[in-house]
Structure 1
Amino acid sequence: MALQILEKNGTFELFGNLNTKTSRSFIIHFEYLINTLKGVTINIDKIKAIDASGVEALKTLIAISLKNNSILYIIRKGYKDTYARNSKKFAA
C-alpha cells in the first residue's frame, strides 16, 4: 500500500505504509514543508506498517528540523495501546 498524506487542521496525517518504497518521497515532501512552514506536525496513527527505512526517514526529518531550527512534532495518540499490546508479547 502506498503512503498517503492528508492535511487536516494544520496536522499532516499519514495513511498506509512508511517503508523502503515510500520513505524517499516522504523525506522530500516533508523537507520542503519543514523549510517552508514555521512548524510541522505529523500524525502517524494511521500508518499500517513501518520498516527500518521508515524509521530512518523519521530520524532524517528530525535531523533536518534541528539543523534548520524548525519545529517538528511527530505524534501518535494510540501509543499506550500499542505498547501494552506489544509488552504482553514479550513478557516471560
Structure 2
Amino acid sequence: MYHFEPETLRVLQTVMDDIVTCLPREDCSQDRKILIAQRLLASAAGGERDPTRLKVQALGQRPPTPTGSAPRRSRMPAGLVPEHVNRPRA
C-alpha cells in the first residue's frame, strides 16, 4: 500500500488529469487509465516527483536520451511531450 504526502497527491492528480486530457479518445479506456495510474503510483513510490518524468514513465516511454546519444522519437500524444524531448541536438 502506498502512502503519499498531500502535495505529492496533488502532483499525481495533476499529471493524471493532463495525461487523460491529452490522450486520443480511442486510447482512453478504463483499462488504459488503470495502467497509467499504476505506473504513476509506482514511479512516485520510487521517489519520482517531477511531473514531466512522471508523465513519461506513466506512458511507458523512455526518458530523453543523454547527451551524445542519438535522439529517439517520442510516441507520447501531442501536448504531453516537452519541447526538448524531440528537438534535434546541435
Q: Give the TM-score, by structure 2 length.
A: 0.29
Q: Which has more helix, going by share of residues?
A: 2
